[in-house]
């Protein structure tokens, strides 16, 4: 059995308490996996983490560092692709991720502000996954935990110290079959794609096809994957910074309370990321308190002005997205006088309203509208792997947080499918707004895909002997 999950986004909770409880894995995920392994007489279990597992971007800890030492700052960029030993950027990454204590059974040894400490029980569950499954099945079974980085955990493959810490804290399998390079010499890194021919599966995180979140070359080399994308800055210097700046204004605006700040932290769950501008506008319309509106005005003005002043933003260029023109406009000299002038004449809410038509164009460009326009379906269709290897029938991506399935091709005797593995995080959905104002609703989601090799088929007329097969499990929960 090959079990694939993605986009868990474990965080240090400085930007919001968005972590999954360990019970989600113990009480929902584990029983289903064990039941399927027993029913299909599984020959092995490969648990594949398909990117964006620890989230090193969505954290307020970066604001404790000078801009120059953030990953996109002048000194942080000096670490790419060859890290400077002991750089401040690396040291902050280690604080965010955490480091395993000598006694791996004692959570008190972990930095309490780290991803490790905030997810201690969950990481311990994965470290013990083989023994837990073996005990539940009543028989020994080979178990491997394979990991591929995405964009929010890009730096795990940049710094060997992060690479090793993650392996230790999650119990990841490091062998020539699961990583690239030479594990014996210490010169290795996690793969960016993975081929499981026995299951007919080829996977990658999928951010490689997102112009906001992949800044590398078309050959998808390791140095290309290590380049800083503009999406990192949008996630940290905009989405994460909004509630951070809002909280800093509490003395000036006493109406700002914890509940209001927490609601702003929900921007972490807006997908696609291009919907953040519209979500912020929606959030402003939810309050009639004039003091809160003033606080939001000041917050937005400060965050967008500081964002546009970043050297990385001013120098960033992309031929693949309209966002490039918007950022270059924001970075121009007129920014020194235009926002204050606009905000003297009107409110941020009105400014946002003027910008929303453009934001809507960007949002629709990366939303799943239909198969022909979904760039991830197009990318999967263009993957050379399934064309070169007749054993492959399934192309998997994560990244979008939207579970989906499309048929790519169906030559005689071989159906080729693209699947997206969704997320285990909550997601804020935008209403369709055919005849009313736009609204946003939060849903909890969980998706995983299970593949079976030719020896793990379910008996019955629905199965085809000698072929791989799969099950998709997706759950939604509405918390109003």
Give residue 426's pLDDT.
78
280-314 pLDDT tens trace: 777 777 788 889 889 988 998 899 889 989 999 98
Q: What is the mean pLDDT of residues 333-348?
A: 44
Each domain of the chain, given as residue ranges in start order, spans 2-226+369-478, 230-269+273-365
Taken in order 168, 172, 173, 178, the sign of the CA dihedral is negative
Backbone angles phi, psi at 177, to 5 degrees: -85, -20
Q: 468 Cβ partners below 8 Å, 6+ apart?
A: 198, 199, 200, 201, 393, 394, 451, 452, 453, 454
- Tell me the pLDDT tens digit for each residue of 205-257: 999 999 889 999 999 999 999 999 999 999 999 999 999 999 999 999 999 99
Helix, strand, coil distribution of the chain in percent, nearest 5? 45, 15, 40
Burial 296-312, CB ≥16 within 10 A → b, else e: bbbbbbbbbeebbebeb
Question: In this predicted model, what pLDDT tens digit does every residue of 39-68 receive, in sequence order?
Answer: 999 999 999 999 999 999 999 999 999 999
Answer yes or no: are the C-beta atoms of 400 and 376 closer than 8 Å.
Answer: yes
Helix (H, G, I), strand (E, B) or coil at 115: helix
User: Dihedral of CA 183/187/191/195: which sign?
Assistant: negative
Distance between CA atoms of residues 138 and 170, nearest Å: 23
Q: pLDDT digits over 152-166, tens only?
A: 999 999 999 999 999
d(CA 75, CA 84): 9
Q: What is the mean pLDDT of the chain?
A: 86
Q: Classify 409 as helix, strand or coil.
A: strand
Distance, C-alpha 354 to centroid of its chain: 30
Is the pLDDT reported for residue 365 higher than 50?
A: no
Q: Positive or negative, the Cα torsion across 229, 231, 235, 239?
A: positive
pLDDT in tens, 315-329: 888 777 655 555 555
Strands 45-50 and 143-148: parallel
Q: Where residue 444 falls among pLDDT bands split at 50, 70, 90?
A: confident
Name the 3-class secondary structure at 427.
Answer: strand
Bridge partners of 442, per DSSP, are 428
Contacts 24+ apart (CB under 8 A), 34-41: 34/133, 34/136, 34/137, 36/1, 36/450, 36/471, 37/1, 37/133, 37/137, 37/141, 38/137, 39/458, 40/1, 40/452, 40/456, 40/457, 40/458, 41/455, 41/456
Encode burial over 68-77: b for 16+ CB neighbours within 10 A, e otherwise.
Answer: ebbbbbebbb
Q: What is the mean pLDDT of residues 334-353?
A: 46
What does the alpha-carbon distance between residue 125 and residue 132 come to, in Å, rounded to a whole number? 8
Q: Is the peptide bond before 272 cis (omega within 30 degrees of 0)?
A: yes
Which residues touch 119 (CB under 8 Å, ≥6 apart)? 10, 19
Length of the chain: 480
Residue 333, pLDDT above cutoff 50:
no
pLDDT at 197: 94
pTM (2 d.p.) = 0.88
Q: What is the pLDDT of residue 50?
A: 98
pLDDT at 341 over 60: no
Token pair of 179, please?
A: 């990583």
Q: Report whether pLDDT(338) > 50.
A: no
């Amino acid at each position: 059995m090959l079990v694939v999950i993605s986009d868990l986004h474990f965080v240090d909770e400085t930007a919001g308490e968005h972590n999954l409880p360990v019970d989600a894995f113990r009480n929902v995920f584990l029983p289903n996996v064990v039941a399927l392994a027993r029913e299909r007489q599984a020959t092995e279990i490969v648990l594949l983490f398909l990117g964006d597992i620890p989230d090193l971007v969505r954290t307020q800890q970066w604001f404790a560092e000078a801009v120059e030492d953030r990953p996109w700052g002048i000194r942080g960029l000096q670490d790419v692709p060859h890290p400077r030993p002991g750089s401040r950027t690396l040291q902050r990454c280690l604080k965010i991720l955490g480091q395993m204590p000598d006694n791996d059974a004692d959570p008190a040894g972990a930095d309490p502000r780290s991803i490790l400490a905030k997810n201690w029980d969950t990481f311990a569950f994965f470290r013990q996954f083989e023994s837990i499954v073996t005990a539940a099945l009543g028989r020994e079974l080979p178990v491997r935990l394979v990991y591929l980085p995405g964009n929010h955990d890009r730096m795990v493959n940049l710094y060997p110290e992060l690479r090793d810490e993650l392996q230790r804290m999650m119990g990841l399998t490091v062998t020539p079959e699961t990583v690239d390079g030479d594990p014996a010499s210490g010169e290795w890194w996690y793969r960016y794609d993975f081929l499981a021919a026995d299951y007919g599966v080829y996977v990658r995180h999928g951010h490689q096809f997102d112009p906001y979140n992949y800044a590398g070359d078309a050959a998808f080399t390791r140095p290309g994957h290590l380049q800083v994308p503009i999406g990192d800055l949008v996630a940290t210097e905009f989405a994460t910074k909004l509630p951070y700046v809002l909280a800093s204004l509490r003395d000036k605006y006493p109406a700002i309370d914890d509940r209001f700040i927490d609601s702003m932290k929900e921007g972490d769950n807006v997908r696609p990321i291009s919907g953040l501008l519209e979500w912020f506008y929606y959030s402003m319309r939810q309050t009639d308190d004039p003091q809160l509106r003033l606080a939001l005005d000041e917050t937005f003005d400060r965050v967008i002005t500081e964002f546009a002043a970043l050297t990385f933003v001013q120098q960033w260029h992309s031929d693949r997205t309209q966002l490039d023109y918007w950022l270059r406009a924001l970075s121009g000299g007129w920014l020194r006088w235009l926002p204050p002038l606009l905000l003297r004449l009107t409110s941020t809410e009105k400014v946002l309203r003027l910008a929303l038509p453009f934001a809507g164009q960007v949002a629709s460009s990366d939303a799943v509208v239909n198969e022909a326009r979904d760039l991830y379906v197009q990318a999967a269709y263009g993957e050379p792997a399934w064309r070169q290897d007749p054993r492959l029938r399934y192309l998997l991506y994560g990244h979008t947080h939207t579970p989906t399935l499309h048929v790519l091709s169906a030559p005689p005797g071989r159906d080729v499918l693209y699947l997206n593995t969704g997320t285990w995080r909550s997601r804020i959905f935008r209403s369709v707004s055919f005849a009313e104002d736009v609204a946003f609703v939060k849903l909890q989601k969980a998706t995983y895909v299970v593949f079976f090799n030719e020896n793990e088929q379910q008996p019955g007329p629905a199965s085809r002997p000698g072929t791989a097969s799969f099950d998709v499990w997706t759950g939604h929960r509405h918390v109003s």
